[in-house]
Amino acid sequence: MLDVKEDADAVTFSVRVSPRASRSSITGVHGRALKVSLAAPPVDGEANAALCELLAKALGVPKRAVSIKQGEHGKSKVVRVLGVSAESVRALVETGAT
């Protein structure tokens, strides 16, 4: 099950990314993290930007509401999103947003 922490104005959760996929999409859960495939390569922050854009679109928030708190240089990341609930994040697993 996806582990999502909620505070007054934001949610924080783990993400496991797979860069250089054929297309960007949310593919399920990896352990307790949201599993995301990204078409962007892990070069010059392109994959991080693609991750923030994908999550913002899927959750219906502006890109500036999504930030990477940990793991900018690895496949395992911790992401913080302003203005959404934990239930909205958990629903991403079921909808498989692209």
Looking at residues 35-62, what average pLDDT do you find? 96
The pTM assigned to this predicted structure is 0.93
Task: Work out the mean pLDDT of the chain and round it to a whole number.
Answer: 93
Read off the pLDDT of residues 61-98 as tens digits, 9 standing for 90 and up.
999 999 999 999 999 999 999 999 999 999 988 766 55
Domains present along the chain, CATH in parentheses: 4-81 (3.30.1200.10)
Q: How far apart are CA 7 and CA 97, in angstroms?
A: 24
pLDDT above 70: percentage of residues in the chain: 96
Q: What percent helix, strand, coil does the chain show, rounded to 5?
A: 30, 35, 35
